[in-house]
Each structure stands twice: as C-alpha cells, then as structure tokens.
Amino acid sequence: MRRWVKAGKVNGHWRERFVLQQYVLVMSNSGIRIGEMRAVTWDDVTSTKVDTGKLIIIRVNGKTGLREVVCNPGCEIFLGRIYDLRKDQLGGKPPPLSEPIFINPKSGKPITSFKVGFNSMLEFCGVPIAKDGMNRTLYSLRHFYGTQRLRGNISPYILAKNMGTSVEMIEKFYGHILTPDIVSSIRKTTTQKIQTTTENSYPF
C-alpha cells in the first residue's frame, strides 16, 4: 500500500490514495461496517489509557443501535494521519468535531465509496480480487478483523459485542477457525506490533 500511495504523486492521486490507505487500516483494525464508518465524526472518537499506551474507542450507530467499538492498537496513528491531513487542508485549523472523519473536501460530505480505489490498490499489490468463488470487497476488511481477533483468542461473545452482531453470526461466518480454546478464552490481547505515536495534539 505504501508503494501504491507513493506512486500516486506522479498521477496526481496521492491524497485519495493516502486517505484510502488509512481507511483500510482503520477498518481492518476495528471491524466497523462501511455504513457505520461513513457517519462517524471526530466527536465520536475518544480514547482510553492502557498499560501499552492508549486504545481508540469509536462510537457508531449500526444495526444493533449505538455501540462503542474498541479498536486495535495503532488506530490512533491512522486517525492521527487523517486528522493532520485535514488540518493542513484547513490552513492549520483543526477540523470541526462535527465533521466526518473520511470527508470529501470538495462537497464537505462523507466519502460515499472507495470501491474504485480499493480495486486499484489490490491490482497494484498483486492481490487477486476473486478468492474462493467470491470477490474481495471493502467488506472483506470487517471479515479480516473478525478472523484475526478470533485467532488472537478473544472471546466470541466479546467480539460479537464489539462488532455489533450476535455470537450465532460469529459462529456462522467464522466457525471454520473456532476451537474450544478460542471459544472459552476471554483474553483481549493482540500480537500486533505498532509504531510509536507522535506528540501531536488530537481531540481523541
């Protein structure tokens, strides 16, 4: 993805690619639905301190109503990049808390679709769009999140609450990777390595 974003400087698509890169990173580390993320504003983003630093919490309104999503470590970095980009666009002024995170700077409204850019990124990275008779889509990022968290031994119940779904749906879509150890586990750890955060000031 980094090479794809860098290549965008040549054809004038760097900003769009940079934003999509952060979108992919946030979505694959939160499990938030596409429609839910579209409505998220900066006012919906908070954080909580933990032993390893801080975790981002995003308030979303989905199929099960309002819920708070605890993101994987690293999301504070991805959101910080988007915040800094938008602040630069606004001449150094912080974006309004009521503004959508993934905003179309021309219309001032949420970006409605990343499909074209996502397919371009997959092609550049050599990742086949089709797999096991189905196409990879932006929704695949949610499935990636669910799979990785289960492999990290999170409780299916906790995962279901975080993803705004039911344990039955978790078992239906991810039953092929469930084991007795995973089902009975309540650990919330992740083996993901993250970069050091900057000292920039954010509202989250």
Indicate the domain borders of the chain.
Answer: 2-134
Q: Which has the higher per-residue pLDDT, 146 or 185?
A: 146
Lowest-confidence region among 1-5, 117-121, 132-136: 132-136
Segments in the chain forming alpha helices (H): 2-11, 14-27, 34-38, 75-89, 115-125, 140-151, 156-163, 167-174, 180-184
pLDDT in tens, 64-95: 899 999 999 999 999 999 999 999 999 999 99
Q: For position 134, what pLDDT does the model report? A: 85
**Which pTM does this prediction carry?**
0.85
Beta carbons of 86 and 96 less than 8 angstroms apart: no
Return the CATH number of the domain spanning residue range 2-134: 1.10.443.10
Q: Which has the higher per-residue pLDDT, 18 or 191?
A: 18
Q: For position 83, what pLDDT does the model report? A: 98
- Report whether pLDDT(118) > 90: yes
Q: For position 51, what pLDDT does the model report? A: 87
Please state the rounded mean pLDDT for residues 42-52.
93
As a dihedral over the C-alpha atoms of residue 7, residue 8, residue 11, residue 15, rounded to 10 degrees, the angle is: -160
Which of 94, 139, 117 lies closest to 8 in space, CA to CA?
117
Q: What percent of the chain has pLDDT over 70?
A: 90
Rounded Cα gap, residues 164 and 198, in angstroms: 31
